[in-house]
Every structure is written in C-alpha cells, then in structure tokens.
Amino acid sequence: MAIHYPNGKSYLKKIGSSNTKRTKNIVYGKRGMSLEDEINESNKYYLESGIAVIHKKPTPVQIVDVFYPKRSAAVIKKAYFKQASTTDYNGVYQGKYIDFEAKETKNKTSFPLSNFHEHQINHMKACCKQDGVCFTIVKFVADAQIFLMPSETLFYYWDRQNNGRKSIPKEVIAQDGFEIAYELQPRIPYLKYVDRLINK
C-alpha cells in the first residue's frame, strides 16, 4: 500500500521495512517489542487497573485507491496522511491532562532533534500553557535504556538548535529526566515518574 504525506511525498517506513533481509526468526520473549508496543501494553494495564486513561492517537488517513480482489476483501493501494500529527499519546491521570511523544534512537550518546517536527513542539508548548503534563519517553536502542525526558529539556534544546547543537546529550536526559527500569506490570512504569513531574 502506498501512503503519501499531505504534500504528496511518499511515506517510507525506515525500520522494519518489508525490504529488509531476515536471517533467522529468533524470538527472545518480549525483547523484540518496539517502544510503542511496550507503552501500549503498559497503558492497557493502567486502564484495566483504573489508574489512568491514556491512548495512542490514531493518525488520520485519506484512502484514495482501493482494490477489491474479492467481494468480501479490500486492499488499500494508495492513501495520504490528512494532516500533520501532533504527539503519540494523550489522556487523563489523576485529573491531569497527559500528552507525550515516544521516540527510539540508535544513537548511543545523544538524541537527535530531527526526530521532532516543529508542529509537535508547538502542540506540546500549547498543552503546557494549559497546565498539561508533557514529556517524551526516549529509548536508546543500543543499550535498551529508557528515559522520561521533561518537556522543558526538549524545549530548551529545540529553541537553541540554531546555535549549532542538533541533539540532546544522553547525559543531560539522564540528569534532567528519569531512567525507567523495566518491570513486570506494567512493563514501562512511566506514571510513577509522571508523579514526580506533577509534584515538582
């Protein structure tokens, strides 16, 4: 299926593309889960436990070409993103509006600001002005470390990137934010660190 952005450019999936070569189908429990899968699983636990209501935002897509190989089946051949997306997740926790982005990077020592778009930053800034709780969950894939990075850190580096710095050092993320250790239930217990943001 071909998916296009509003400007007409094609959407190319970089990670996990069907063109990548697969050598062996080895499964190590849940080690191969993406950050998004891990957060979705954690949010399901929070919802079922009555702790919070946080969901992944659906991306609005306009379907323009559909192929019907059978009467009972349809194959989408071409689609466009209707509009630029904001952030990945939002919801309510302890009476607070929660809004955050989830990002993975293969970089070992820093988090590239190119992972964000200006409209996402503007959206998060607007939410913060309304007393919402905004942050980013960053996963450094190489060593499977996960951090909750406060929005203030992201905004600080974003607003100063014209001075030459195009990334946020990992040590700054660790210092300003919180490292999240994997647990059984929920898998990524990020809300206990959100408590610290709320109580700041």
Q: What angle do CA 72, 37, 74 make, to 5 degrees?
A: 15
Question: Tell me, what's the pLDDT at 88?
Answer: 87
Task: Tell me which residue of 194, 165, 161 sits closest to 177, measured CA to CA.
Answer: 194
Question: Tell me, what's the pLDDT at 8?
Answer: 59
* DSSP conformation class of 57: P
Burial 7-33 (b: 16+ CB within 10 A, else e): eeeeeeeeeeeeeeeeeeeeeeeeeee
Q: Quick check: 65 and 77 in contact, CB under 8 A? A: yes
Task: Tell me which residue of 184, 189, 197, 199 sits closest to 46, measured CA to CA.
Answer: 189
For residue 85, the one-letter residue type is S
Mean pLDDT by 10 residues, the chain (200 residues): 60 48 40 83 97 84 67 67 71 96 95 93 95 96 95 95 88 96 94 92
Q: Which pair of tokens denotes residue 152?
A: 């203030």
Task: Tell me which residue of 96, 188, 90, 172 sits closest to 139, measured CA to CA.
Answer: 188
Q: Which stretches does DSSP call E strand in 16-144?
A: 53-56, 61-70, 73-81, 89-93, 96-105, 110-112, 133-140
pTM of the model: 0.73
